Structures are given as C-alpha cells and as structure tokens.
A and B are shown apart, each in its own frame.
Chain A
Amino acid sequence: SQELEQSPQSLIVQEGKNLTINCTSSKTLYGLYWYKQKYGEGLIFLMMLQKGGEEKSHEKITAKLDEKKQQSSLHITASQPSHAGIYLCGADEEGFQKLVFGTGTRLLVSP
C-alpha cells in the first residue's frame, strides 16, 4: 500500500519567516492533496495537485508537485500565527478515490 512521509514532523518558526513542508510518496502519485487541521478539529482542504510540475497558490501558501520525485512541497511565505496547525498531505491511492494520509507536520508560529 502507498505510504506518505512528511518532513519535518514539527516546526517552530518566527512570525514573518518562510517555511517549507515536504511530502514524499512510496508510489506513483495520481493526485496529491494538502489539508490543514487545527487541534481538535476536522481537516480543511487547501489545494489539490494532479500534474507533474503543477503549482498552486492560496493566499500565502504555495504547493508544488514533482511527479518524477513522487514528492510535493508546501511553502508558506511570511508566516502568521493563523498558519499554525497540522499540515497533512494525502494521496489518491492508485486512483481508487480513497486517500492515504501522511503523519502530518505540526507548525507553530511564534510572535
């Protein structure tokens, strides 16, 4: 079965700094999803990437997909306290319309 590895597992950055979170898949990526989760709450959909080289942005968050490396990166520019939470990547396992998730990256933004 497909496995997703996220790095780093946790991250503390100062407000205003940039950061990058990586997600690497053990198998070919058919679709890569990024979600954000605040403690004790459900997952909020951020964006979905399907094609190699694809890049999408939402406010100050940009995600890229490197199909050859079976990897996606999530970049936050000028981090704010509102960006704090757990970022999860999910992959469509073999196109079967079910998601396999990574273990998450916990982000803290210090003022």
Chain B
Amino acid sequence: EAGVAQSPRYKIIEKRQSVAFWCNPISGHATLYWYQQILGQGPKLLIQFQNNGVVDDSQLPKDRFSAERLKGVDSTLKIQPAKLEDSAVYLCASSPWRGGITQYFGPGTRLTVL
C-alpha cells in the first residue's frame, strides 16, 4: 500500500512570494490533515478535511493560507504572501473514516522563507 505522498520535498522562496504544496493521501482515506511544524516544536494542525469538506480550520491563518481538496482525494495548501515566520515543515496526514483516527503522515515539505 502506497503511503502519503507530498511534493515538493523542499522549497526556498523570498518573503512576499507565493508557494503551493501538494498532498496525495493513502487510497481510500477520507480524512486529510495539514500540519505546520516549526523547528523544535510539535506539529500544529492547520486544517482537517473530511472528503472534500472542511471539518476544522480554526488554526489556519486565513489571511494568507488557503487549502482545498476539490475531489475529495488530493489536496493543495497555498501560502500567499509568505512571511519569514512561515518557515517550517508542512506535513500532510490521512486517516480512514472507519479505521479509528490513527493518522499516517507523509514525508513533509520543508519551506524556507528568506
């Protein structure tokens, strides 16, 4: 079974630029999560999707971050414009609807904002 795929693995941009990250969850997993992990901290949930609907986006900075999961499968997280404090690893995770809430994580995208 293929795991959670993310791309790109690394991205370096200058502040005020835009960036997008892509995630493809494990096949059949209805729930998809995006986390932000700043160096030295644990992951922080940004947004949770159930199929193509948003379940929780209370910690998503909506003035600059957006995410979508149009067909209920893969998802895109966008930052526009980026700030220095957005430098972090962005992790995508998925879990099955009926399989408990154990989340399976992708390798992450390391973003550096200069």
Chain A residues within 8 Å of B, Cβ to Cβ: 4, 31, 33, 35, 40-45, 48, 88, 90, 92, 96-104
Decide if the interface of chain B is mainly helix, strand, loop or mixed: strand
A99 and B103 contacting across the interface, CB-CB below 8 Å: yes
B31 and A43 contacting across the interface, CB-CB below 8 Å: no
Shortest distance between the CB of A102 and any CB in chain B (Å)? 5
Residues of B near A88 (CB, < 8 A) are 42-43
Shortest distance between the CB of A2 and any CB in chain B (Å)? 12
The 7 A-B residue pairs whose C-beta atoms are closest, nearest first, are: A101-B42, A42-B105, A43-B105, A42-B107, A97-B101, A42-B108, A103-B42
Q: Given contacts A41-B107, A42-B105, A43-B105, are A48 and B100 in contact (CB under 8 A)?
A: yes
Most buried by B among A31, A40, A88, A97: A97
Chain B residue with minimal CB distance to A89? B42
Chain A residue with minimal CB distance to B40? A103
Chain B residue with minimal CB distance to A45? B102
Residues of A near B100 (CB, < 8 A) are 48
Q: Given contacts A33-B102, A92-B101, are A102 and B107 in contact (CB under 8 A)?
A: no
Residue B56 CB within 8 A of the other chain: yes
30 contacts between A and B (CB under 8 A): A4-B42, A33-B102, A33-B103, A35-B105, A40-B108, A40-B110, A41-B108, A42-B105, A42-B106, A43-B43, A43-B93, A45-B102, A45-B103, A48-B100, A88-B42, A88-B43, A92-B101, A96-B56, A97-B31, A98-B33, A98-B45, A99-B45, A99-B101, A100-B45, A101-B42, A101-B43, A103-B40, A103-B42, A104-B41, A104-B42
